[in-house]
């Protein structure tokens, strides 16, 4: 009589057992979890950068922990954070409990990182962020140090600095425009996708742009998934804008560039356009994406210091494309390894103070944390790059003889080339 019941119970037990699986017996290795949206470019960057770090360290014999050397073992976790928040938190929990990793690197979408950070802090595990820029994430360190001290952001620098840097780019382009075609006060169309991180930047732009000697022509807020921006572009043309200040992180960045290129609209695009950072941008815009300028961390041929080139070239050789900023999991793991060596132990509580005092050269410049475990920005520290698409190639155009302040040192990284205005723009405006 109880046959079906037994069947059901057996089935349920089977499912449970399959789910539990057998715990992986850890050898004498340091397990580092790499968590990110693995089906997308950002997650792939996380994983690839980590792979490079792992190989580099293990080739040298491993990490020095006290008086023995331990190798690094990476554990991949797909957070799927673009599509599902519960997936992200489940993945983090899986890493920390089932896989029992010692440290975690990665994360991208702010909403997900906030939740994942909480879980990591619950387990007092060091979590090095390599993707989410929102300042709030690091503010938590200051608000509740004892709980959040295990969090450090490695890349990018926070959104306030992102805004500052893009304004500097804007001013640079405005200056070039003035010199090239003699427009005294170029008009700027602010176009930002409808996202919370853009809000602050849009508001800041409206106040700052006049201070840069430019004029605001208008503000447009398309939806981030917009596949047709004809309406916005027509309106921008009518507003006689010379520069489009882009604040894009999603699809709309491609659509915009493509349509501007196809219609040869006489504007210079500058700002943040995350899609334009990718090698596939040219193909995505059908070849129409030239002259788009955006912020980026790495570019072919540009060197911040002597550490940059080996990393970038090594990455290109191995993975066929320029690393994006999420590939700085490489820097994160190298930093971690060195900190373990200096602390002499794997204990998070001993490593945290070492990281806090960190002031070393990294592949993107001099790296130092502020008191909220956020990377420090500025000349001599991290500045990132301004890159532009010229003739189908992504090249570095900023900083080019840049002075942060009149008494600051002039900065030009090796491999920077001059910025170019679109020829149809010069054609239209040259008197």
Partner 1 sequence: MIYDIILTTLINGSTWALLAIGFSLIFGVARIVNIAHTAFYMVAAYCIFYGTYRLGVHPGLAVLMAIVLVMVLGLICYKLFIEPIREHEAAVLIATIALALVFQELVLLIFTGDFRTVPALIAGYLEISGVKIAYQQLLTIAAAGVILAGVWTFLAKTRLGLAIRATAQDREVANLMGMNEARVAMLTLVISVALAALTGAVVLPLSVLNPHMWMGPLIMMMAVVVLGGLGSMKGSFVGAYLLALSEALVVFLIPKGAFLRESVALSIMILVLLLRPEGLFGVAFEEER
Partner 2 sequence: MGLLGFYLRKLVTIFKGEIFVLPSRIVVFVFVVVLLLFPVLIDDPYLLRILTLASIFAIFAASWDLLSGFTGQMNFGHALFFGVSCYTAALLNLHFHIPPWGTIPLGALAAVLAGLIIGIPCLRLRGTYLALTTLAFPIILMGIVFALPDLTGGELGLSGLERLAKSRVAAFYINVILMIALVATMWKITDSKTGIIFHAIREDEVAVRASGINTTRYKLLAFCLSGFFAGISGGLYAHYMRIAGPSTLEVSMSFQVVIWSVFGGIVTIWGPVGAVFILFPLLEFFRFWPEGRLLMFAFVILLILLYMPGGLLHWIRDKIESECPRCKIRNIATRKTCRICSAEMH
φ, ψ for residue 31 (rounded to 5)?
-95, 125
Where in 142-201 is the site for partner 2 (CB under 8 A)? 194-197, 199
Both tokens of 31, joined, read 């397990």
CB 189 within 8 A of CB 245: yes
From the list 267, 214, 258, 259, the residue with the least C-alpha distance to 238 is 267
In three-state secondary structure terms, 175 is helix
* Interface map 251-290 toward partner 1 (x if CB under 8 A): x--xx--xx--xxxx---------x--x-x--xxxxx---
If the CB atoms of residues 286 and 392 are measured against partner 1, the closer one turns out to be 286
Which one of 56-64, 110-118, 226-234, 367-375 is the stretch in contact with partner 2 (CB under 8 A)?
A: 110-118
Q: How far is the CB of 110 from partner 2 (least distance, A)?
A: 5
In three-state secondary structure terms, 285 is coil
* Interaction of residue 3 with partner 2, rule CB under 8 A: yes
Q: How far is the CB of 331 from partner 1 (least distance, A)?
A: 25
CB 115 within 8 A of CB 88: yes
Both tokens of 297, joined, read 């961390």
* Interaction of residue 392 with partner 1, rule CB under 8 A: no
* Interface map 232-251 toward partner 2 (x if CB under 8 A): --------------------
Count the neighbouring beta carbons within 10 Å of the beta carbon of residue 314.
Answer: 15
If the CB atoms of residues 76 and 368 are measured against partner 2, the closer one turns out to be 76
- Taking CB under 8 A as the criterion, the residue among 41, 65, 94, 354 binding partner 2 is 94
**262 binds, options partner 1, partner 2, none, Cβ within 5 to 8 A by partner type:** partner 1
Cross-strand bridge partners of residue 69: 64
What's the rounded Cα separation, in Å, for the pair 314 and 317?
A: 5
CB 316 within 8 A of CB 324: no
Conformation bin of residue 369: beta by default, left when phi > 0, alpha when psi is -120 to 50 = beta
Q: How far is the CB of 18 from partner 2 (least distance, A)?
A: 7
Which one of 48-56, 131-139, 230-238, 423-431 is the stretch in contact with partner 1 (CB under 8 A)?
A: 230-238
- Taking CB under 8 A as the criterion, the residue among 42, 102, 110, 158 binding partner 2 is 110
- Taking CB under 8 A as the criterion, the residue among 10, 24, 26, 39 binding partner 2 is 39
In three-state secondary structure terms, 215 is strand
* Interaction of residue 84 with partner 1, rule CB under 8 A: no
């Amino acid at each position: 009589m109880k046959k079906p019941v037994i069947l059901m119970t057996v089935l349920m037990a089977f499912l449970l057992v399959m789910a539990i699986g057998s715990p992986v017996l850890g050898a004498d290795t340091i397990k580092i979890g790499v968590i990110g949206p693995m089906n997308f470019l950002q997650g792939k960057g996380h994983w690839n950068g980590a792979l490079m770090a792992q190989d580099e360290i293990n080739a040298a014999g491993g990490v020095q922990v006290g008086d023995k050397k331990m190798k690094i073992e990476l554990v991949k976790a797909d957070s799927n954070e673009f599509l599902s928040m519960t997936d992200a938190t489940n993945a983090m929990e899986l890493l920390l409990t089932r896989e029992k990793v010692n440290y975690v690197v990665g994360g991208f979408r702010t909403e997900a990182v906030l939740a994942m950070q909480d879980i990591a802090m619950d387990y007092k595990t060091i979590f090095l962020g390599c993707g989410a820029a929102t300042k709030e994430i690091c503010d938590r360190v200051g608000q509740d140090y004892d709980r959040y001290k295990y969090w450090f952001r490695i890349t990018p620098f926070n959104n306030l600095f992102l805004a500052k840097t893009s304004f500097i780019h804007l001013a640079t382009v405005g200056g070039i425009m003035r010199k090239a075609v003699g427009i005294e006060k170029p008009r700027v169309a602010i176009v930002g996708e409808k996202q919370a991180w853009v809000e602050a930047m849009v508001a800041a732009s409206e106040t700052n742009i006049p201070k840069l000697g430019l004029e605001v022509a208008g503000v447009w807020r398309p939806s981030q998934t917009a596949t047709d921006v004809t309406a916005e572009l027509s309106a921008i043309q009518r507003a006689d804008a010379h520069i489009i200040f882009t604040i894009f992180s999603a699809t709309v960045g491609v659509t915009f560039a493509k349509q501007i290129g196809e219609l040869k609209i006489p504007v210079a695009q500058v700002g943040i356009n995350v899609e334009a950072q990718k090698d596939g941008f040219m193909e995505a815009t059908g070849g129409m994406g030239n002259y788009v300028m955006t912020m980026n961390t790495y570019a072919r041929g540009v060197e911040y210091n002597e550490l940059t080139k080996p990393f970038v070239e090594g990455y290109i050789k191995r993975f066929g494309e320029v690393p994006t900023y999420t590939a700085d999991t490489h820097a994160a793991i190298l930093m971690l390894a060195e900190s373990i060596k200096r602390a002499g132990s794997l204990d998070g509580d001993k490593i945290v103070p070492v990281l806090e005092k960190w002031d070393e050269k990294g592949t993107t410049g001099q790296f130092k944390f502020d008191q909220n475990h956020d990377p420090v920005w500025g000349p001599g520290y991290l500045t990132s790059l301004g890159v532009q698409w010229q003739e189908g190639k992504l090249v570095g155009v900023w900083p080019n003889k840049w002075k942060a302040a009149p008494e600051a040192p002039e900065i030009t990284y090796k491999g920077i080339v001059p910025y170019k205005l679109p020829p149809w723009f010069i054609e239209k405006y040259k008197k």
